[in-house]
Amino acid sequence: MKLSDEEINRRLTEAPGWRYVNGCLEREFKFADFKTAFAFMTRVAEVAERLNHHPDWSNVYNRVTIRLNTHEVGGLSELDFELAKLIDQSV
């Protein structure tokens, strides 16, 4: 179910570091080097596969930018915030 802007803003207060940008939940992560950045991505990939909910993400050396949204609802759903939380726990 698509979350309302009001609901999104409420939930953002419980997801520090994440921003609501262009209809996506977005966060950038920075690591010591490529190796640790990719190790993080590997953990996130496992979580995403488990939830069957996948990020739009990019990596350049030690930086990983993650964007989440739910294509099916044309916006953000509960699942995006659930994945965001699990991603934070994967750092």
Interface ranges with its own copies (CB under 8 A): 34-35, 38, 41-42, 45, 48-49, 54-61
In the complex, the smallest distance separating the C-beta of residue 10 from its own copies, rounded to whole angstroms, is: 28
Catalytic residues: 49, 53-54, 71-72, 80
Note whether 51 and 82 are within 8 A (CB). yes
Which residue in this structure is represented by tokens 């950038």? 28
In the complex, the smallest distance separating the C-beta of residue 58 from its own copies, rounded to whole angstroms, is: 4
Burial class (CB in 10 A: 0-12, 13-18, 19+), 16: exposed
Rank residues 9 and 58 by Cβ distance to its own copies and give the closer one.
58
